[in-house]
Each structure stands twice: as C-alpha cells, then as structure tokens.
Structure 1
Amino acid sequence: MDITTTIPTVGAETARASLVARVENLTKSYGAHGARVDALREVTLGIRRGEFTAIMGPSGSGKSTLMHIMAGLDSSSSGRVWLGDTEIGGLGDEQLTLLRRRRIGFVFQAFNLVPTLDVEGNLLLPFELDGRTPSAREREWIDELETVLGLDPRLTHRPHELSGGQQQRVAIARALVTRPELVFADEPTGNLDSRTGREVLQVLQTATRSYGQSIAMVTHDPIAASFADRVVFLADGRVVADRTQMDASEIASFMLSIEQVA
C-alpha cells in the first residue's frame, strides 16, 4: 500500500478562510548534532472549520507534539503556526495564555476537573479565569450544554461522585462553554471503557454536526478515529496521508501498513 499523499499548499485566500488553524513547514527538533531527534519534519497542515479531525500515528510519530504546538503549549524549531488569522509563533507567554483561554478548548484523557468544585463550578471556571461572568446569551448556551450532555441532575455533584463518562462529559462541556474557535482533544477516551468511550465520541461528533464546532482529536484508537470527518496520519514526524471519513477496519489496516513501513 502506498502511504504517501500530497498535502495541498495552504496559500489561497479562500483556502485560508476555511481553516481554523494551520501550520506551514513546521519542524520540531530536540537535542543537537548527532543526538538530534526530529519530532516533526516540515509539516504543512490545516484544520478546517466546523470539522471533526482525527490525528493518528504510531507512538513517536509526532501527533501529540503537533497538537501541543498548534495549541500554543509548545514552540516549534522552525515553521509558522496560525490560529485563524493570528500567527502565534511570535506571541509572548501572556498573549498565549489569553489566546488559549479565550479561543481554544481542551479535553484531556485525565479529565482535569477541579476536585473541590461541583459540576456547575467546573463549567463556570473558564469565565472565572477570564475575570468575568457569563452573559445572558452565554448562560443560555451553558444551560443547553448541561441538558444536551445529561448533566442537569449532576450539577451539584463533585468529580469524585461522577462516573468516568460523566466526568468526561463535564470536561467536554467546559471546553465548549466559551464557544472556542477550536477544541483540542488528547486521547479523550483513553481512560474509559469501550461503551462509555463511544458515548463520549458521539458527543464530540454532535458538537461538530449540530453546532459547527471545530475539533482536532489526537488518538491511537481506530474506533475513536472512525467518528471523525477526516483522518490525518503521521509517521516519523511527517504527514503521510489525509483522508475523509474512514471506518475502523480501514483505519486499523492503514495504521498497520504505516508501522510495517516504519
């Protein structure tokens, strides 16, 4: 199987307008001289608005590094990174903090809920960190999320009183409350059983299809990736394929071909 693909150059204004985030010629290296390791090598990639994108690859392929750089959590060795029309590579720590707080949402494998806050308190945390209270329209959106995600009966419960699936639903709701331009999900089903994991993936899928949310999910799980509209494959720090929606067996087969070549 040929695992190479041509990644279109991001250049035209119309193409840029459809992208919520993009990187051009992105390289991330660690060490120097003979000890140098390239985690990413000349990666050019755009995340399209209103789309659920899965980023896959074997361990060490660079997928988590790519997400961290696109989210402003890490810096590149060379290349350029944009969130919308904002090039983030030259931003200072304070500017990056504000950008992440106001324009990006995060969902992690470990949930990362504040244990001393109840569900409602965790959902309002992004507003508190930004030094403000939700507007009336934002309050309506929070109420809708609580209902859609089945959290209404749990609003006064603390994280330790919730199941893993319920905690991840709270984490997803918290990532969505400020209507961020892009939500990054890092192995969001890694700590969940298969049934609960599917329910969480359906929530992410619904966020895209019903609300137009842009989501980029890093995963090694073919079943998780099959919920996405698009699957981007990395190997040895490079993008080797960029496909529209695939079923889990196709993804697993393709991943196997990548690992065999590697």
Structure 2
Amino acid sequence: MDITTSIDVVASEPAAPALVARVANLTKSYGSHGARIDALRDVTVGIRRGEFTAVMGPSGSGKSTLMHIMAGLDSPTEGRVWLGDTEIGGLGDEQLTLLRRRRVGFVFQSFNLVPTLDVEGNLLLPFELDGRTPSPREREWIDELETVLGLDPRLSHRPHELSGGQQQRVAIARALVTRPELVFADEPTGNLDSRTGREVLQVLQSATRGYGQSIAMVTHDPIAASYADRVIFLADGRVVEDRPRMEASEIAAFMLAMEQAA
C-alpha cells in the first residue's frame, strides 16, 4: 500500500489556521537560588491548527519541556498555557488527565504499546480508558485508519510480532482514533531505520494534509523536520527562529550555525 497516496488530500487552500495550542511568556525553571536552571525562558509561541509543526533544537534547548507543558504533562514556573480556548495552567490533576485523554494524542519514540494487547486492543485502549465504546461513526474512523495504515492483516498480532515500523503505525493510529485536537510526537522515528522512518513521517504528513490533523513533533533530525509545514528552532530555552517548510539541507545548515554560535 502506498501510504503517501492512501489519504485524499484536501484540494482547496485553507484559511489562516487558528492556534490549537499556545504558551505566553512561558518560563520553566528547576532548582533554586544559585543552582537555578531555566529550561525555558519567556517563550511565547503557538501551534497552528491543521499544520505539521516541527520543534527543533540541540540537546538541552528546551524542546521536550515545551512539548510536555503544552500537553499538560508538566507545569510552568511562570506564564500561561492554552489548549484551544482552555487555559490549562489552573486545572487540577483530574481535569488535566481528562483533557489529555480526550483532546490530546501522543506518539513516542519507544512506541508505548501495551504488550499484552493485540493491535485492535491497543487501538481501542483510549476508549477503554475513557470508560466507553466507540460510536458507530468512531468505529468507521478506526476501520479507515486500520486500512489506510495497512494494519488490517495485523489486528490480531501483539506488538512483539510486529516490526518497528508496524508498531509505530499502530501508535500513530492509536493517537488519532479519538480525533484529538493536537497530536504530540516525541522523536517518533528515533528507533526506526531510515526507510521506515520516512514511511512514518509520510503518514504524519498525510494526516495533516488529508484530515487536517494538528501535529507537533519534537525532533533533532533535519530530515524528519523537513516533512513539517513549519519549523520552530529553540536554543537555550528560547525560540530563536520560526520558519515555513525547509529542506533538510537548510535545516542542517541552520542547526550547525546555531551550535557554532553557542
């Protein structure tokens, strides 16, 4: 199955997208007094709805911290955080858990599939955790994802019976089954070979173009970032550049210049 052509691309040009998530004057610090470390420093940035955004930067630049705070997995030291129109900074643990379960999807480098469940069981897990079964319309969407991602022949297989690429496709499908407002992908190709990594990136890219899915991907890989519609560069806890789609060679050159200037 040709993943890149399996999802119909929306032909019309969309209007300027709204922000699906944003932070304002965000600072995240660890330690205190002389031992204080600022992972993020006065960051103001938004993730646009229906776009594939890559967040790049050298190790320690704050990119993973930014993702965790936007996803409600961590809290800021200062500043404000919104998911859609909901300001999440003041939410309690139970409210945050519910928000993440219903409005956010996650794709991790390590796949994070449940080893005792087969593919179908892993895909239905978000509904199980929410204490419900998929509606008929949601069931149609799950069936479509299974077909588009080539998972139909593997639905009864457990994760250890799948290749790395197949496991990551299951993880992507699981992140999309509830149609979340935003999917966070943390180094999603880090454990994959180059060819499989490209296939996974094409799936993520097609999800935005075909279904209008909003995706924010943290990566250090210029090739991975080149699949995104937009690239945000962080260094020393600050946003230093925000650019539209770039070629891998341009991204690599920019990253090298950042490291040399550090």
User: TM-score, with normalisation over the residues of structure 1?
Assistant: 0.94
Structure 1 runs (4+) greater than 6 angstroms displaced: none
Deviation at 1:77, TM superposition (A): 0.2
Alignment of 1:1-262 (within 5 A): 18-262=18-262
Q: Secondary structure at the match of 2:180?
A: coil
Cα distance per residue 1:159-193 (max 9 Å; x no partner): 00000000000000000000000000000000000
Measured in 1, the distance between the counterparts of 2:210 and 2:112 equals 26
Q: Secondary structure at the match of 1:213?
A: coil
**Unpaired segments ≥5 residues, structure 2:** 1-14
Deviation at 1:33, TM superposition (A): 1.1
Measured in 1, the distance between the counterparts of 2:92 and 2:261 equals 40
Deviation at 1:39, TM superposition (A): 0.2
Cα distance per residue 1:174-225 (max 9 Å; x no partner): 0000000000000000000000000000000000000000000000000000
Measured in 1, the distance between the counterparts of 2:190 and 2:170 equals 16
Measured in 2, the distance between the counterparts of 1:37 and 1:259 equals 20
Measured in 2, the distance between the counterparts of 1:256 and 1:25 equals 27
CA RMSD of aligned residues (A): 1.0
Deviation at 1:252, TM superposition (A): 0.2
Give the paired residue count. Answer: 248
User: TM-score, with normalisation over the residues of structure 2?
Assistant: 0.94
Q: Secondary structure at the match of 1:38?
A: strand
Measured in 2, the distance between the counterparts of 1:75 and 1:117 equals 32
Deviation at 1:117, TM superposition (A): 0.3
% identical aligned pairs: 89
Q: Secondary structure at the match of 1:39?
A: strand
